Structure 1
Amino acid sequence: MKFNWGTGIVLAFVAFIIFILYFVVLSFRDPESNHDLVTEDYYKQELKYQQDIDAARNLYETGARIQVAKTSEGIRIGFPEAFEPEKIIGTVSLYRPSNKQLDFKTPIQLSERQLLIPKSRLLDGRWDIRIEWNYKGKPYLFQHKMTYSQD
């Protein structure tokens, strides 16, 4: 067999394909690789996306602002004065993109306009906060991303 340009190109392609396949197999066999979806019910959440848009628009149209602040006790969430605290029903979800075992939900129970997520439940790093509530039968949604550090 004579080695020419055509044979060299074919061997280069075969070597490249073997190289890529090696890394594909390696990534699937690695026990630390996580191939999960972002959330368990991804498709269900996708179907209710328009409802989320409407709920976020409801908050925008009121002109009210949700205040999220890092304090020495944890994360303090301030609800607008336009809402009576006793009539707010909903949940606050904290999502950790790097580790789904740290995700948690807490119900909104207010006597004042403030809700505190204690620092004992939080680790340093990025958190996605999703606040969903109903007020007088109307849904509202607020989403916020923050980097938390306990310093």
Structure 2
Amino acid sequence: MNWGNGILLLLLVFIGLMVTLVTICVKQDDIHLVTENYYAEEIKYQEHIDRVSNTNAMEGKVMQFDAASKTLQFKLPIGSKGELHLFRPSDARMDKKIQIEIKDSESNTMSLKGLEPGYWKMKMTWEADGVAFFEEKKIDI
């Protein structure tokens, strides 16, 4: 084999490799954004900063996860309303949003036994006495 054939073979292998990689990337369909409305969420970010500041002014954490019983406990006053976003970074199809309303002391507990094992982020937004709050907790089930 001479130099010309070697260079031609090397270029053909390189082009074949590039075509294969581009084909794999184009056929990949499980790419999920963190949120569908990314830009609208970014505009509301100052509200988020205010919620986090309000939460930091509180004493202690609001969400407590018990790994043994797979339950989540809320330390919220009665009358609090909000939303719990269970966020699975590896697969957006598993995300869940649950409305929370604390009517009595027994509604401060939630079972998470139905969730798939793995890494989860829990993002809780709630309002109590006209003040908005936000807390995030990372758990591994």
* TM-score range for the pair, normalised by the shorter chain length: 0.7 to 0.9
Q: Give the number of equivalent residue pairs.
A: 138
Structure 2 counterparts to residues 110-121 of structure 1, below 5 A = 110=102, 111-112=104-105, 115-121=108-114
Q: Which residue matches 1:131? A: 124
* Residue type of the alignment partner of 2:99: P
- How far is 1:3 from its partner? 4.5
C-alpha distance in 2 between matches for 1:67 and 1:23: 44
- How far is 1:119 from its partner? 3.3
- Shift of the 25–85 alpha-carbon distance from structure 1 to 2, 3 Å rule, reads same
Structure 2 counterparts to residues 1-151 of structure 1, below 5 A = 3=3, 8=7, 16=14, 18-30=16-28, 33-79=29-75, 84-86=77-79, 88-110=80-102, 111-112=104-105, 115-148=108-141
- How far is 1:50 from its partner? 1.9
Q: In angstroms, what is the RMSD of aligned CA positions?
A: 2.7
- How far is 1:90 from its partner? 0.7
Contact 1:92 1:132 in 2 (8 A): yes
* Percent of aligned positions that are identical: 22
Deviates more, 1:139-148 or 1:46-55: 46-55
